[in-house]
A and B are shown apart, each in its own frame.
Chain A
C-alpha cells in the first residue's frame, strides 16, 4: 500500500474492526483525523459536548452490544469525556475513546490544550494507549477494541499526538492481537460448577441473583432456562433488568435500595444466592453484615476481582456468564438421578405471597397532582414494554426500573454504578443510532435533563427521533427526598422550579417538538403524539407532584430487613418477616 497519514491509518484501522458510528467533536489536536473521515465509511455524529459523545457511545454499546466509539480533541475535549468513561467503566460497557494530543515535541510543556489524558483517564478506564509512532496505530486500534469488548468489557482510550496523525508512512494492517498480560478466564472450572450444583440441590430457599454480566454475555436465554428447569426465582439488578421478562412467574424484579419488597426480602431470607454476574453492590446489599444472613453464596463473574469483594463466596466461579450457565445446566441435568430432587414450591409460595401483598404502590387521583409513577406506567403500557428505555440518575431512574415491565435484555439503559446525572438524553441518542428501528424513550428528571440537553441540537440536525419524558418535579428529587428524611426537612439548594427553563420553548428552540402535560387526563394523548413523530426528538414536560417520594427504600447504612415501604402501606402495616439473626456488631461503612 502507498503512503498514508496517521489519520488515514486510524480510519483504515477503525473500518477494519467494523466501526460504523463515531460520536465526537473536532478541535485542534484531533483535526487531522477529521479529514480522512470525509472519505470513510464511518459515520460521524457531531455532538454538542464531549460528555454527550461519551454517554452516546455508552448508550450505543448498551443497546447493541457493539463497541461504542467517541472522539474528542486534546485538553478540555478529552477531559470532558471523563464522566462518560467513568460511567462506562463502572457498568462494564465496551467503549473506545479516541483523543487528539498535542504534537510529540510539545508534550509535557503545558502546550495549549494539553492534558495528560492517559494519566487522567487511567483510573476510570480498562486501559489507555498513548500512540507515539504512526506504525503503531493499526495494532493499537485492534488491541483497544479487543480489550474493550472481551473479558469484563470496559472503556479504552487511545490518545494520539497531532504529529503522529499527520505523519506519512506505509500502512500495514494490524496483526493478531497478542497481549501476554491479558488472558481473561472465560471457561469456568468444572469442579466449582459441580460444587455449585450440589449446593443448589441441598438448598431450600435459593435465589438466582442475576447481574449485568448476563446481559454482556448474551446469556438471558440460559438464565431463563436454568430458572425454569430448577424452579428457582430470579431477582434482576438495576443493570440486569430485562434478562428475564418481568412478566415471568419466576421474576421477582429489582432488589436494592429502591427495589421491591419481594426481591429485597427474598435475598434476605434466602439460604443460597446464586449470583451470576452481579457485583454485590452496596445499593443491593444494604448493611453488608446484615445481608442475606442465612445464605451460602455462589458467585460467578468473569472478573476474579469481583468475587468475594464484598461478600465472601462459598463457591467462587471465574468465567463468562453464558459458559457458567451452560455448564451449570448440564451438570444439574446429569445429576438429576444422584441428587435428591429439590422442591422449592413452598419457597415459591412464600415469595409469591409477598409479591401479591407488597407490590410497588402509588395513588393517582383524577384531579390530584400528576404522579411520576403514573407517567412511567403509561409510557410502558402504550409502548407495550417493547421500546428501549433510557434514564438519567435519581428518582425517575428508580421509577423507570420499578414500573416498566421489561421484556428483553438491552432495553433498560442507565448509569448504574457511576450514577452520572445527565446520562439519559445522550445515551438515548446513542441507543437510537445503534437501533434505528426501535422506539427509544428517555425517562428523565428535570435536573438530569438540564445537564446534557444540548444534544437535542445534535438529534434535531441528525434526525434522531427519540422521545424524552421529563418527570419534572421542580426539584433535584432524590436529594430533596434525602433532605426530607435524613436532614429534618431542611431543604438546601434543591429547588429548580417548574418554569425555568420553559422546557417546551427550549425543545422548540432546538428544533424539536415540545409538549406539556399537567394532568393525568392528558398523559396518554401526549405519549401517543410523541410516538407519532419520527423526524425529530420530542420533549414532554410532565409537571409532576413536587413532593413525591421513591419507595420502597432501604436507607443508606440500614439493613435490608428495615425496608421502608412508604406511606401507601402505612394504613396496613406490614407483617414483616424478620429473621431472628444475631448480627455481628461490627460497624459497617455507610455509603450515602
Chain B
C-alpha cells in the first residue's frame, strides 16, 4: 500500500541523501519525493510516497526521525489530507487533433502552456489519479515527454504538522 510521509528537515546539505538512504538500505523504492522550502527559511519539507508494508514503514519512519537534521515526521492518511501533483506533459499535436486535446485539457481544468508546430505542452494539477487519467487519455496522440512534481500533501483542517504527534510514539 502506498503511504505519504511528510518530513520537516533543517535546510542543510546531505539531508536528502540521509533520508533516502534509509529507504534504499532496505531495497525499498521511493515512489515520489518532493522537497521545497516552507514558511520558515531554515526548514524544508519533504513529501515522500512509498509503497511498503506497515511494519517496515513504522521502523523506517522512526529511523528517519532519529536523523539529527530531521525535525518532524508524520504520515498523512489519505482521507485526512489533501494531496496534489503537478504534471507538465508534451503531447504530439498535429493540427487535426489539437481541438480534441484542448477540449480534454479544459475538462481536466488544465492549461496549455506551450504550443509548437506539431506539439503542445499542457500543465495539469490535481490528485494523482486525475493526473494519471489525463495521461492515459492523451497517450493515443503520442506523449513526447512528461514530468511530474511528485506528490505534495497537507493535512485537512486548521492544524499544522508541528501540532501533530509523531506518526509513531515510543
Does chain A bind chain B?
Answer: yes
Are A317 and B170 also in contact (CB < 8 A) when A118-B14, A123-B25, A305-B59 are? yes
The answer to whether B13 and A181 touch across the interface, beta carbons within 8 angstroms, is no
Question: Which of the 9-residue segments B67-75, B117-125, B143-151 touches chain A?
Answer: B67-75
Q: Using Cβ atoms and an 8 Å threshold, which residues of chain B touch A181?
A: 9-10, 67-71
Closest residue on chain A to residue B70 by CB atoms: A181
A179 interface contact, C-beta 8 A: yes
A51 interface contact, C-beta 8 A: no
The answer to whether A147 and B68 touch across the interface, beta carbons within 8 angstroms, is yes
* 13 further A-B pairs in the complex, CB-CB below 8 A; given A130-B13, A305-B62, A317-B170: A118-B14, A119-B17, A122-B21, A126-B68, A127-B68, A128-B14, A130-B14, A181-B69, A181-B70, A181-B71, A304-B66, A304-B170, A305-B59
A303 interface contact, C-beta 8 A: yes
B168 interface contact, C-beta 8 A: yes
Give 28 pairs: A residue, B residue, CB < 8 Å, sorted on A.
Answer: A118-B14, A119-B17, A122-B18, A122-B21, A123-B25, A126-B68, A127-B67, A128-B14, A130-B13, A130-B14, A179-B68, A180-B71, A181-B9, A181-B10, A181-B67, A181-B68, A181-B69, A182-B68, A189-B170, A192-B170, A304-B62, A304-B66, A304-B169, A305-B65, A305-B66, A307-B170, A309-B59, A316-B170
B63 interface contact, C-beta 8 A: yes
Cβ distance B33 to chain A, nearest Cβ, rounded Å: 17
Are A318 and B170 also in contact (CB < 8 A) when A127-B68, A147-B68, A309-B59 are? yes
Chain B residues with a Cβ closer than 8 Å to the other chain, count? 21
Q: Using Cβ atoms and an 8 Å threshold, which residues of chain B touch A180?
A: 10, 71
Cβ distance A89 to chain B, nearest Cβ, rounded Å: 12
Closest residue on chain A to residue B22 by CB atoms: A123
Cβ distance B7 to chain A, nearest Cβ, rounded Å: 11
What string of 1s and 0s marks CB contacts (under 8 Å) between A179-190 and chain B? 111100000010
A-B pairs, 6 with minimum CB distance: A305-B62, A316-B170, A127-B68, A318-B170, A181-B71, A182-B68
What string of 1s and 0s marks CB contacts (under 8 Å) between B102-138 and chain A? 0000000000000000000000000000000000000
Closest residue on chain B to residue A303 by CB atoms: B66
Chain A residues with a Cβ closer than 8 Å to the other chain, count? 23
The complex places the Cα of A180 from the Cα of B69 at a distance, in Å, of 8
What string of 1s and 0s marks CB contacts (under 8 Å) between A296-321 and chain B? 00000001110101000000111000
The complex places the Cα of A564 from the Cα of B9 at a distance, in Å, of 49
Are A305 and B68 also in contact (CB < 8 A) when A122-B17, A128-B14, A130-B14 are? no
Cβ distance A104 to chain B, nearest Cβ, rounded Å: 13
The complex places the Cα of A192 from the Cα of B170 at a distance, in Å, of 10
Q: Using Cβ atoms and an 8 Å threshold, which residues of chain B touch A309?
A: 59
Q: Using Cβ atoms and an 8 Å threshold, which residues of chain B touch A305?
A: 59, 62-63, 65-66
Closest residue on chain B to residue A147 by CB atoms: B68
Q: Using Cβ atoms and an 8 Å threshold, which residues of chain B touch A122?
A: 14, 17-18, 21
Which B residues have a C-beta under 8 Å from some C-beta of A? 9-10, 13-14, 17-18, 21, 25, 59, 62-63, 65-71, 168-170
Closest residue on chain B to residue A182 by CB atoms: B68
Q: Using Cβ atoms and an 8 Å threshold, which residues of chain A touch B65?
A: 304-305
Cβ distance A303 to chain B, nearest Cβ, rounded Å: 7
Closest residue on chain B to residue A119 by CB atoms: B17
The complex places the Cα of A307 from the Cα of B169 at a distance, in Å, of 10
Q: Using Cβ atoms and an 8 Å threshold, which residues of chain A touch B21?
A: 122-123
- Which of A119, A179, A181, A309 has the most chain B CB within a 10 Å cutoff? A181
Q: Which of B14, B70, B168 is close to A304, meaning CB atoms less than 8 Å apart? A: B168
Q: Using Cβ atoms and an 8 Å threshold, which residues of chain A touch B17?
A: 119, 122
Q: Using Cβ atoms and an 8 Å threshold, which residues of chain B touch A179?
A: 68
Chain A residues 171-220 with CB under 8 Å of chain B are 179-182, 189, 192
The complex places the Cα of A181 from the Cα of B14 at a distance, in Å, of 15
Closest residue on chain B to residue A189 by CB atoms: B170
What string of 1s and 0s marks CB contacts (under 8 Å) between A122-161 and chain B? 1100111010000000000000000100000000000000
- Which of B14, B65, B70, B71 has the most chain A CB within a 10 Å cutoff? B14
Closest residue on chain B to residue A315 by CB atoms: B170
The complex places the Cα of A28 from the Cα of B113 at a distance, in Å, of 54
The complex places the Cα of A119 from the Cα of B24 at a distance, in Å, of 14
Closest residue on chain A to residue B15 by CB atoms: A181
Cβ distance A2 to chain B, nearest Cβ, rounded Å: 31
Cβ distance A179 to chain B, nearest Cβ, rounded Å: 6
The complex places the Cα of A182 from the Cα of B9 at a distance, in Å, of 11
Cβ distance A280 to chain B, nearest Cβ, rounded Å: 13
The complex places the Cα of A318 from the Cα of B169 at a distance, in Å, of 9
Cβ distance B64 to chain A, nearest Cβ, rounded Å: 9
Q: Using Cβ atoms and an 8 Å threshold, which residues of chain B touch A189?
A: 170
Q: Using Cβ atoms and an 8 Å threshold, which residues of chain B touch A130?
A: 13-14
The complex places the Cα of A397 from the Cα of B59 at a distance, in Å, of 31
Q: Using Cβ atoms and an 8 Å threshold, which residues of chain B touch A123?
A: 21, 25
Cβ distance B104 to chain A, nearest Cβ, rounded Å: 45
Cβ distance B18 to chain A, nearest Cβ, rounded Å: 6
The complex places the Cα of A126 from the Cα of B70 at a distance, in Å, of 13
Cβ distance A539 to chain B, nearest Cβ, rounded Å: 39
Cβ distance A118 to chain B, nearest Cβ, rounded Å: 6
- Which of A126, A128, A304, A317 has the most chain B CB within a 10 Å cutoff? A304
Q: Using Cβ atoms and an 8 Å threshold, which residues of chain B touch A127?
A: 67-68
The complex places the Cα of A130 from the Cα of B18 at a distance, in Å, of 14
Cβ distance A264 to chain B, nearest Cβ, rounded Å: 26
